[in-house]
Amino acid sequence: VGGVPGRPCFSDLHARLLPECRDPAGPGPQGGRESLMSMIEQFPYCDRNPASGGLDLMPDLPIVLRHQSRSVSGVGLVDSGASISVLPYSLGIQLGFDWNTQKARITLSGNLANVDARGIVVEAVVGQLPPVRLALAWAKSDQVRLLLGQFNFFEAFDVSFFRTRRIFEVSQSGTSISP
């Protein structure tokens, strides 16, 4: 696995998409994965501004999205404060969606209130967990980032945040194991 010698990445996808995010505690389970029997994937928080001394840590999650025969690897912010999951326009295009054929209009709020959005459904894969169907608000803007919010990311996955340990865990709903 690439990266900093002696500091393994949590997964090959994580290493490719977020090379600056390494296991902050040093060596851990091979590939950073718990036993597949537990159905839990563990990821490091990413320090978006290393000069801040850890003040800008974010739970950025490498994820693969699929639609029909296409797939896109991306990084989504796991955001428990977001009501809905949001997909940037260019990722929707890469997945083969046509804006003009998507009829389900979605009203976004907050910083995204002025952005048009359409409802789409994709297959999503997180680490080695089984694929799930995710409903996303496909924004007609690339000024938004991939957000993984309450509907329906948090309905498909359980997420545990351990910021002091600089890790977060993602599991299929109903398989979470308390630390």
Q: What is the pLDDT of residue 99?
A: 98
Report the distance separating Cα 104 and Cα 100, nearest Å: 11
Q: What is the pLDDT of residue 53?
A: 86
The mean of the pLDDT values for the chain is: 84
Residues 6+ apart with CB under 8 A from 21: 9, 14, 43, 44, 45, 46, 47, 60
pLDDT per position as a tens digit, 22-45: 544 443 333 444 444 458 999 999
> Residues 68-91: what's their mean pLDDT?
97
Q: Provide the percentage of residues in the chain whose pLDDT is more than 90.
A: 71
Q: Peptide bond before 152: cis, by omega within 30 degrees of 0?
A: yes
pTM of the complete model: 0.79
In the block, residue with structure tokens 């949590």: 10
Q: What is the pLDDT of residue 126?
A: 97
Q: Name the band, by pLDDT with cuts 50, 70 and 90, for residue 54.
A: confident
Report the distance separating Cα 121 and Cα 75, nearest Å: 17
Q: What is the pLDDT of residue 143?
A: 96
Q: What is the pLDDT of residue 22?
A: 54
Q: What is the pLDDT of residue 30?
A: 36
| Strand 132-139, strand 86-87: pairing | parallel
pLDDT per position as a tens digit, 124-149: 999 999 999 999 999 999 999 999 99
Report the distance separating Cα 166 and Cα 155, nearest Å: 24
Instruction: Report yes or no: 22 and 3 within 8 Å, Cβ to Cβ.
Output: yes
Instruction: Report yes or no: 42 and 61 within 8 Å, Cβ to Cβ.
Output: no
Q: Name the band, by pLDDT with cuts 50, 70 and 90, for residue 16.
A: low
Q: What is the pLDDT of residue 8?
A: 35
Q: What is the pLDDT of residue 171?
A: 96
Q: Phi-psi bin for 155: left (phi > 0), alpha (psi -120 to 50), beta?
A: alpha
> Residues 60-78: what's their mean pLDDT?
98
